[in-house]
Structure formats: structure tokens, C-alpha cells
Amino acid sequence: MKYQASWRSPSNIALVKYWGKHGQQWPQNPSLSFTLSSCHTTMTMKASMGNDAPSVNVLYEGQPKPTFVPKILSFFSKLNHIFPWLKQTSIEIDSRNTFPHGAGIASSASAMSAIALCLMDIDHKISGTSVDLNASWWKTASEIARLGSGSACRSVFPVVSVWGKTESIPDSNDDFAIPWADQIANHYRNYQDTILIVSASEKSVSSTAGHAMMENLSYAPARYAEAEKHIKELISCMATPFAQEQFISICESEALQLHALMMCGASPYILMEANTVSIMKEIWRYRKETSVPVCFTLDAGPNVHVLYPKEYTGKVLPWIQSTLLKYCAGGQYILDEAGQGPQKMD
């Protein structure tokens, strides 16, 4: 028997960062992210059942991509209790990203959440039940996506989601993310994220290796306490449009802490480039001169996410184009904003 499912799933950018994990990809601290809109993966998965020797084949942008297979097989090995049929199935994945390949944008969140959604969809087809995209569906999708890549569990909800148990949010959980769009002011619902591509090269140290380095870091307990404090403050300030200064201060502090942690481990490393630092300083200068509420965050890489309210686009975008693009590789940037989460494509 053959089954097929197609989903589109977005990437996300964390404002409070997940950095440090334990056990079954459980986070050491709560995190909060904007779900993105333009940066997404579109995936078609085909499952051929009844094979003694299961296999995975991946086409990425139409080309075979065997280097993606080990991470996907490791993900599947954690799912045998949920999808027992996976053990006798050959899987073909055909995946495309909207963001340019090698643009240094983390793609595991969009790819792993797309895989989770395709698997759940195929599971329904196998059992002959219809898919109901209710709260329970999204909770399960988030929990499965987490096993593929921690940050992927936040991609399944629109606009903003929170992952990880925190005393500030009674329903929060380490197993799955929860939607947080209803708790924020309209001001944040279409927040802009212009991603400046400082370098399009592959990262020298993976996020998985970065998480592992937190295990023996003496600063780790202090960092987890900071993240807990930042989540508490951020959810409170995002509930209104009036705490913009505090929002900016938390976002930038989180970005800098993430990179500071990379620099103070047993095998220190630096993912920022000189141009990353130049952009951050330009943002500080511009904000001081104009009072426009623009700020930055960073992923685990050199690229800068420039965040600002939509109503400032007319001011901020021309300034980015005239002042910041000279720091970007080939002048590359991506216009993105908070988005609506995954979409079923068939």
C-alpha cells in the first residue's frame, strides 16, 4: 500500500532562547518564539508499506540529499511506539525551502515540524480516519516535532508559542509547545523580522553540539534562571503595546547571552562575524538617534534578525537598505514577519 501527505511548515525565531537540553530533547529552560511566515518548508512524503528493509530517501530542492538521512532516521527511531508501521515502510521525502539554500537560516524547525505533520497525516490515512485540525492535533504535532529538533515544536502554532515548563504559565510543558497568540497585543501579531544574511556558509558548530556544551558550563544554572526571568517579563510586556523598551531589552539581552555562552564553554567558539557586530552597533545608533523601536535578535549563527513593528516599515526598511545591506553577503536579506503556522497542502 502507498500513502502520501503534503504540508507546509514555517521556521521560527526564538526571542527567549532554548539553549541546553536533557533526556528526550527536553529543554533546560522555557523559550518563546515568533513563528515566521516567508521562511518555510514545503514537503511531500510518500510511504510504501510492507517492506522488510525500510529505507528513507530525501530529495531537497529536487536533488538527492543523502546527508539529511541520518538525522531523519534518528528521528524515526524515536517514533516507533507512535507509528509502529514506520518499521516496515520505505519513506520518500521531497522537500523545498523558500529561503535560499545555504543562507544560514536554521531549517531544522521547519523541516522537522513538516515531517511530524506528514507522518501524522499518513497515520490517519493508514487507519482510515479523517484529520481534524483541532487543539489535540497541534499538541501531538508539537510533541512529535520536538523529538526531531527541539525548536521545531514551536513552529506548529501561529504567531507566538512557548515551550518548556515555567511557573509563569500554568499550562506550559516540556513535552510540547503551547500557542501564545491570544495572550499578546495586536501590536505583536504582525511583527516584522528582516533577516540580514551576513554569511551564507554552513555553521562551524551545530546547535546540537552547542546544547551539549551547556552540560558542564558553570554559568548554566545562572543562564536557566535568566531565561525563566525573561519569559516572565516578556509575556507580561507582550500583553500590551506599551512596554516596547522592555521588549527590546529582553530580545537583545537573550541574543547576546546565547552568543556569550558559546564563547565561555570548555571549547569556546564564535559564530558572530565582524559584520554581525557592525549591524548590532548600527541598530543601537539608529535607535538612539530616532527613537524608532527597532532591535535585533540572533539565531545560532552570524545572521541578524531585525525586529520592528509593522507601522515602522516605511522608515526602517529604507534605512536597512541604505545602511545595513553593505554588511550582508551579496546584499542578501529576507523580508519576514510573524506568521500563521503550518498549512495542509493536499
Would you tell me which residues interact with ligand DP6 (CB under 6 A)?
Answer: 14, 17-19, 25, 31, 106, 108, 149-151, 207-208, 211, 258, 299-300
Cβ-contact 164, 14 below 8 angstroms: no
Closest CA to 186 of 224, 125, 242, 241: 241
Distance CA 298, CA 210 (A): 15
Q: How far is the CB of 56 from ligand DP6 (least distance, A)?
A: 18
Residue 17 or 230 with smaller CB distance to ligand DP6: 17
Closest CA to 20 of 172, 178, 164: 164
Q: In whole angstroms, how close is the CB of 104 to ligand DP6 at the nearest point?
A: 12
* Separation of alpha carbons 338 and 74, rounded Å: 30
Place of cell 513535552: 175
Shortest approach of ligand DP6 to residue 318 CB, angstroms?
A: 29
Residue number with CB closer to ligand DP6 (45 or 271)? 271
Q: Is residue 117 within 8 Å of 156, Cβ to Cβ?
A: yes
Distances (CA, A) of 89 to 1, 76, 128, 214, 262: 10, 11, 17, 37, 40
Name the minimum Å distance from CB 230 to ligand DP6.
Answer: 12
Check if the beta carbon of residue 161 is closer than 8 Å to that of residue 140: no
Cα separation, 104 vs 102, whole angstroms: 5
Query: In angstroms, rounded to a whole number, what is the distance separating the alpha carbons of residues 100 and 150?
Result: 23
Cell of 210: 552547542
| Nearer to ligand DP6 among residue 6 and residue 303 (C-beta) | 303
For ligand DP6, the closer CB: 13 or 86: 13
In a 3-state reduction of DSSP, which class is residue 146? helix
- Nearer residue to ligand DP6 within complex by CB, 111 or 328: 111
* Minimum distance of ligand DP6 from residue 150's CB (angstroms): 3
* Min CB(314)–ligand DP6 separation in Å: 30
The CA-based angle 175-98-103, given to 5 degrees, is 90
Which of 264, 251, 269, 256 has the alpha carbon at shortest distance from 309?
Answer: 251
CB–CB of 285/255 below 8 Å?
no
Which is closer to ligand DP6, CB of 196 or CB of 316?
196
**Which of 77, 240 has the CB closer to ligand DP6?**
77
CB nearer to ligand DP6: pick between 8 and 154: 154
The minimum distance between CB 208 and ligand DP6, in angstroms, equals 4
Q: Name the helix (H) or strand (E) containing 248.
A: helix 244-263
Q: Grid coordinates representing 322?
A: 541604505
Least CB distance from residue 231 to ligand DP6, whole Å?
12
Helix, strand, or coil here: 52?
coil
**How far apart are CB 142 and ligand DP6 at their closest, in Å?**
13
Nearest to 340 by CA among 31, 38, 7: 38
Q: Considering beta carbons, is residue 17 or 139 the nearer one to ligand DP6?
A: 17
